[in-house]
Amino acid sequence: MLSRLSIQNYAIIDRLEIDFSARLNVITGETGAGKSILLGALGLILGQRAESNVLLNKEKKCVVEGCFKEEAADGHVVAFLKENELDLADELTVRREIAASGKSRAFINDTPVNLSQLNALSSLLVDLHQQFDTLELGESDFQREVLDALAGNFSLLSTYQQVYSQSQAARKAWEQLKEQKAQFEKEADYHQFQFTELEDAGFRENELEDLDVELKMLANAEGIKTALSKAYYEMAESEEPIVRQLKSMLGSLQHFAELHPDLPAISQRLQSAYIELQDIADEIDRINGHIGSDAQRLDFINERLSIGYRLLKKHGVSATNELIEIRNNLNEKLQAVLNIDESIVAAEKRYNDLIHEADVLAAKISAARSAQVKPLETKVNKMLAQVGMPNARLKADIRKVALNQTGFDDVVFLFDANKSNQFQPLRKVASGGELSRLMLCIKSLVATSMNMPTLIFDEIDTGISGEAAKQVGIIMKELALARQVICITHQPQIAGKADAHYLVYKSLKEERVTTGVRLLDTDERIVAIAKMMSGEKPTAAALENAKEMVMN
């Protein structure tokens, strides 16, 4: 509920703060005193657009702040706060600031938010219903939700929506498989040709790279052989081969090894060098013996490389392993063509099973809605007579449509204002005042079921008086037993039902007119209500009548 509203520097409001009661709050005041300005300020924290011309003092910013209590227990509010990473607190504070430049900022629990977030939260906190602001009543979604609320369908509807969403996902998967099959079949011949071409080539991993290295070696075989032969000759077969010279040096030094402490180490190193060079010479000789120009091998390598380079260019890749990967992927696609029919059958069965389950649930939901049509019509029509519309009739029409997110019902509220039995959709035939009172009747029936937030009514009692106004007051009083209600009214019969009565007034402050609000005590309420009945100087009869209204 809205526990406190604080307004600074807005329109003709300098500074004011209102602490609201948890039940029926009535706001009264002379025409032009500023009641609509209060709602304008409240609209700012509900996400409405802001303009810099609303600032009373152009050198200061405007600040509107609303505090909501007991919202921490509301699952929808908690879910919103968690989803938007906002702080959870026992008291929810919503603030809107407008700078002199016109720049607007919004905060939820002191955390900056954008207007779309503010709008989303406000719908969970406040239901603002102004005169002629009856678009919601004419919307099919709201009309359907009324029947669902009365039928207690929300749990079953949640289950249905999960199944329906799964069915739509299954349908999408089924259609994608069918499209995939059509695409596979369209490309099958081409994929088969590409796969066969790569399969026949039969490349092993890194084959082209290895063949390229071998080709370069064979192309330079004579030069490599000459270099190897020369190295081997110098090391092992010349007139003074290096290996033999090392062996001679080693023999000379070993003769004197015991005569000098450093000579054994030198001898050991020469021994190691001799052995290593001898091994190198043998390895050079071995390699030299295996190198030769093989024309047949050269032809084979050139042919393989020619095939490989053509395929690399064709598939836009640069390595043998990428060709192998393409071949494997093509093979998977060809295998998928063989298996996709089974997948399509399975996907179709899953979709049909889910759509059948959704249809069964939708039928239960529809039956529950249909069961509430007559009780709704009876109760609303009775209340319409109470609020001064004895000839008005409401009729709820349910028509079957294609299965959708809310079942297979299209709910339309039809209205007949004059017992003509010519029912038409609400928006076409009901006036603003009729819609306002009708909305009050419907909201009073479903407020607890639909978990409606704080309800604010702005002069929806326009055009009624006497007994009808009294009945509107009774309905609001009953509505306020379960929900906080804030009502701006000119009707004394409604004001007399208030749990808290606030008076909006104008005063002169520093040669400037400003708006103020104060909570009236019992005696002040009696005087205020008497003035609403008989003018600025209420008669004794009016005072007595007002006293009776307040006390009862």
469, two tokens: 């106004």
SS3 412: strand
The whole-number average pLDDT for the span 59-67 is 91
Selection from 43-57, 119-133, 466-480 with the highest mean pLDDT? 466-480
The whole-number average pLDDT for the span 47-62 is 82
Judgement on whether residues 305 and 232 belong to the same structural domain of the protein? yes
pLDDT reading at 452 higher than 70: no
* 38-47, 228-237, 340-349, 427-436: least confident range: 427-436
Judgement on whether residues 331 and 262 belong to the same structural domain of the protein? yes
Range of the domain at 319: 178-339
Q: What residue type is assigned to position 155 of the chain?
A: S
Judgement on whether residues 238 and 322 belong to the same structural domain of the protein? yes
- Does 36 reside within a domain? yes
The DSSP secondary structure of 210-270, one letter per residue, reads HHHHHHHHHHTHHHHHHHHHHHHIIIIISSS-HHHHHHHHHHHHHHTGGGSTTHHHHHHHH
Contacts with 138 (C-beta within 8 Å, 6 or more apart), sequence order: 413, 425, 426, 427, 435
Q: pLDDT value at position 135?
A: 45
Q: How confident is the model at residue 88 (pLDDT cuts 50, 70, 90)?
A: confident
Sheet holding 24-29, edge to edge: 126-130, 454-458, 485-488, 24-29, 500-509, 512-519
247, two tokens: 């062996």
Q: Which residues pair with 505 in a beta bridge?
A: 516
- Does 494 reside within a domain? yes
- pLDDT tens digits, one per residue of 241-268: 888 888 888 888 887 878 888 888 888 8
* 71-85, 164-178, 399-413, 530-544: least confident range: 71-85
Judgement on whether residues 295 and 203 belong to the same structural domain of the protein? yes
- Does 384 reside within a domain? no
Last residue of a domain, one of 292, 323, 339: 339
CB 457 within 8 A of CB 484: no
Q: How confident is the model at residue 434 (pLDDT cuts 50, 70, 90)?
A: confident
CATH number of the structural domain spanning residue 474: 3.40.50.300
Domains in the chain, number: 2
The DSSP secondary structure of 283-351, one letter per residue, reads HHHHHHHH----HHHHHHHHHHHHHHHHHHHHHT--SHHHHHHHHHHHHHHHHHHHHHHHHHHHHHHHH
Q: How confident is the model at residue 71 (pLDDT cuts 50, 70, 90)?
A: low
SS3 493: helix
- Does 395 reside within a domain? no
Please name the residue that has the structure tokens 């102004």.
Answer: 130
- Does 123 reside within a domain? yes
SS3 99: coil
Judgement on whether residues 4 and 85 belong to the same structural domain of the protein? yes
SS3 354: helix
Judgement on whether residues 217 and 291 belong to the same structural domain of the protein? yes
Q: pLDDT value at position 138?
A: 55
Which ranges of 46-153 does DSSP label H, i.e. alpha helix?
A: 75-83, 115-125, 140-151
Q: How confident is the model at residue 217 (pLDDT cuts 50, 70, 90)?
A: confident
393, two tokens: 């009739």
CB 473 within 8 A of CB 492: no
pLDDT reading at 402 higher than 50: yes
Tell me how far apart the alpha carbons of residues 402 and 164 are, in angstroms, rounded to a whole number.
Answer: 12
- Does 382 reside within a domain? no
Judgement on whether residues 68 and 186 belong to the same structural domain of the protein? no
Judgement on whether residues 270 and 196 belong to the same structural domain of the protein? yes
What does the angle CA 251 – CA 252 – CA 257 come to, to the nearest 5 degrees?
Answer: 90
Kindly state the percentage of the chain with pLDDT values over 90: 33
Judgement on whether residues 316 and 216 belong to the same structural domain of the protein? yes
Q: pLDDT value at position 131?
A: 43
pLDDT reading at 159 higher than 90: yes
- pLDDT tens digits, one per residue of 294-327: 778 888 888 888 899 899 999 999 899 999 999 9
Judgement on whether residues 256 and 330 belong to the same structural domain of the protein? yes
The whole-number average pLDDT for the span 215-240 is 80
Q: pLDDT value at position 46?
A: 85
Q: Are β-strands 407-416 and 424-425 bridged in parallel, bridged antiparallel, or unpaired?
A: antiparallel
- pLDDT tens digits, one per residue of 203-213: 999 988 888 88
- pLDDT tens digits, one per residue of 335-348: 777 778 888 999 99
Q: Which residues pair with 487 in a beta bridge?
A: 26, 457
Judgement on whether residues 64 and 203 belong to the same structural domain of the protein? no
Judgement on whether residues 195 and 329 belong to the same structural domain of the protein? yes
- Does 534 reside within a domain? no
- Does 109 reside within a domain? yes
